[in-house]
Amino acid sequence: MHRQLISHLAHADHPIASPVSAANLDRLLTRAKLPAGARILDLGCGEGAWLLRALELYPDATADGVDIGQEALASAAESAGRLGLSDRLRLHQVPADSFEATQPYDLVLCVGATHAFGALADALDGVRRHLRPGGLALVGEGFWERPPSKELLELLGSDPDEYAGLAGTVARARDAGYATVYAHTSTRDEWDEYEWSWTGTLTRWALDNPGPDGDEALAAADEHRDMWLDGYRDVLGFVTLLLRPTDR
Ligand SMILES: C[S@@+](CC[C@H](N)C(=O)[O-])C[C@H]1O[C@@H](n2cnc3c(N)ncnc32)[C@H](O)[C@@H]1O
């Protein structure tokens, strides 16, 4: 089983692929106060949870979703059809950093997908390329709630500078030429809901599908849960920043 399929199965009960609740996703999108006929772009859109909801909240908006994952985009297309949103959503299977648009956007999202560009600063530069003057970015990024131990960094294959603290993350956005105009810091309940859903839904699927695929899915769920409970729980945070470019 490849990683995309594992992720698709694991997200069945929590289609937002970040530790953010549906209510807080709504709050962030509503706070963007998009103009009539808004154009929205999501770089690393996954299964389209943010875009689909944005199209529901802004009924005359149109959107483009970009991802490299075939399963994720197929799922986004299927959900768009079910919700009657297909005519306002275009999906593109290309790397986020090579997506070319003909017109700029009022809102560009990159939530839990900054790694598609490299570091946060690279993602913020990539997002800026697509923004119209006065447009907004919604960027979800990890941060260290507490300094990570050496063991945790090894477990995650990370280095201490991959993330900053919360203040440092806002400073990184400022240094990249953005003002933070609103934000949501994921709560422990949101993290728990996300991780119990990811690991639990995959575990249920594994038990319903005995055999080599089930064994592999169960091992992936166990490994993920161990890494969370014995590793990054309460150490890794997640913040979704609503950003507006400044004149640098
Ligand atoms: C954690 S998921 C976040 C999905 C979505 N933004 C959300 O919050 O529900 C990260 C997504 O980034 C996508 N991704 C990873 N590398 C990418 C790249 N180079 N270009 C586009 N998408 C990429 C993955 O396929 C995955 O769907």
> What's the mean pLDDT in 130-146?
97
Ligand 1 center to residue 101 CA distance, Å?
18
Question: How do residues 155-204 score in pLDDT, each as one tens digit?
Answer: 999 989 999 999 999 999 999 999 999 999 999 999 999 999 999 999 99
Confidence bin at 3 (pLDDT 50/70/90): confident
State residue 44 phi and psi, 5-degree precision: 85, 50
**What mean pLDDT is predicted for residues 4-25?**
96
Q: Which atom of ligand 1 is nearest to the CA of 66?
A: 21
Q: Mean of the pLDDT values across residues 90-100?
A: 98
Q: In this model, does residue 16 exceed pLDDT 80? A: yes
- Indicate which residue's Cα is closest to atom 1 of ligand 1: 112
What the chain holds in terms of domains, given with CATH numbers, is: 21-187+235-245 (3.40.50.150)
For 50-61, the pLDDT digits (tens) are 999 999 999 999
Q: Is the pLDDT at 226 greater than 70, yes or no?
A: yes
Return the closest-CA partner of residue 147 out of 235, 36, 215: 235
Q: Is 67 in the pocket of ligand 1 (CB under 6 A)?
A: yes
Site to substitute for ligand 1 among 67, 111, 184, 190, most atoms within 8 A of C-beta: 67
d(CA 235, CA 248): 33
Ligand 1 centroid from CA 118, angstroms: 12
The predicted structure's pLDDT at residue 1: 82
For ligand 1, whether the C-beta of 72 sits within 6 Å is yes
Closest ligand 1 atom to 46 CA:
27
Nearest to 234 by CA among 184, 195, 178, 181: 195
H or E segment and range at residue 8? helix 3-10
pTM attached to this predicted model: 0.96
* % the chain with pLDDT above 90: 96
Res 248: pLDDT: 64
Given ligand 1 and candidates 25, 47, 68, which is best to mutate, with the most ligand atoms within 8 Å of its CB?
68
Taking the centre of ligand 1 as the mean of its atom positions, its distance from the CA of residue 37, in whole angstroms, is 26
Average pLDDT for residues 90-94, to the nearest whole number? 98
- Arithmetic mean of pLDDT, 83-95: 98
65 phi/psi in degrees, rounded to 5? -120, 135
- Helix, strand, coil % over all residues of the chain, rounded to 5: 45, 20, 30
To the nearest whole number, what is the mean pLDDT of the chain? 97
If one residue of 40, 45, 138, 186 were mutated to test the ligand 1 pocket, choosing by the most ligand atoms within 8 A of its CB, it would be: 45
What are 99-129's pLDDT values in tens digits? 999 999 999 999 999 999 999 999 999 999 9
User: Is 41 near ligand 1, meaning CB less than 6 Å away?
Assistant: no
Model confidence band, residue 247 (pLDDT cutoffs 50, 70, 90): confident
Does ligand 1 come within 6 angstroms of the Cβ of 45?
yes
Is the pLDDT score of 234 beyond 80?
A: yes
Ligand 1 geometric centre to CA of 210 (Å): 29
